[in-house]
Structure 1
């Protein structure tokens, strides 16, 4: 008979261990569920971000296509104007002579400038430049 109380005590101890283990497993299961929910939310956010980025990419591609078309039409307009200019120079001797005339030296120097690597270089070049002659003076061609 002594065996029965020891057996019952062992069973109670085993049940207590199983209950504690069950509680620990339930806690782990709850943590895993929370992690799964957090990962699902992150995945949804990433999918939304990918969808937004894809939309932006399509919009940029469309804008690029529109810009290319605008550039192409501007190029065609420029070519048409250049052809018209060439025709007018070819047809009009006075216009051809005017176009072939060189600019005065002072005006030509306005078109000359070094390559700049920054805005401060440009400002330095502007401040160190030569002064324009007084309007009462005639330009000196060199």
Structure 2
């Protein structure tokens, strides 16, 4: 995880998992694991970082049902920034965050349904020239095909 791109991807995955877990009834047990993760930055840092995570959880829990998805997106961006900054100061914590992502049932959803794809083989990439639902075009080019 020494490369900045990997840290940013991990922060993105971590933020998605945090928000997904916040919406579940088992948040408190996951919160304990998050507290242990932030503890790698020292006790004072852990208190500050966890305060931000708790505030995010409260905002999500108290958001009106019809605004929940929008709030989740906002919180995911905020947590992404928080995690990326934490990992840049504490790069040795990357393995612990990866373990959190991997151990969470939401981690599977993030990896499979989210924007990040890991261990992907035998896939094709389809690029839309606009919204597919409004009649945009789809272009397929096989690897090494004519341009």
Instruction: From the two aligned structures, give the one with the greater helix fraction.
Output: 1
Structure with higher Rg: it is: 1
TM score, norm. by length of structure 2: 0.20
The structure, 1 or 2, with the larger RCO (C-alpha pairs under 8 Å, 6+ apart) is 2
TM score, norm. by length of structure 1: 0.21
